Amino acid sequence: MTEHELISLWTRARWHIIVSQLAPTFLLTALVAFLSLGLAEAALSVRIAAAGILLASGILGAIAQIAAANEGLAIIADLRGLPAASAVGRGVIASAPWVNVVRFVTPAVFVVVYLALLVALFLPSA
């Protein structure tokens, strides 16, 4: 593949990473808003449903993020193999360590926030 083709693939992978974060972020934010409106006092089945929706969205978002990040790292590896990358190509290559944030840190943050929201949902006095 040419550098141009690889950079185009990188742009698509980066877009997938961004889009994969939208649903979980929206749902986390919405759940916080619903908690402030009294969700913690709703019927147990409603709270379980809210937790399940958030968990499913988070899992799917994490899978999409990790897959896109892995594709990004493969693209970076291919770019490294090309002779004399352009400034854009070098910039993409330099971003390799940050792709691991998407793979590891972002899902970890989701888990921590999810656990905090579970406490708020099921232990309202906490």
The model carries a pTM of 0.82
Q: Is the pLDDT of residue 126 over 70?
A: no
> Domain residues for 73?
3-122
Q: What is the pLDDT of residues 42-91, one digit of tens each?
A: 999 999 999 999 999 888 888 988 999 999 999 999 999 998 779 999 99
Residue 41: the pLDDT is: 92
Higher pLDDT, 39 or 124: 39
Q: What is the pLDDT of residues 14-32, one digit of tens each?
A: 998 888 888 888 888 999 9
Please, what is the average pLDDT of the chain?
91
Residues in the chain: 126
Q: Give me the number of domains the chain comprises.
A: 1
Distances in Å between the Cα of 41 and the Cα atoms of 89, 122, 126 are 53, 9, 13
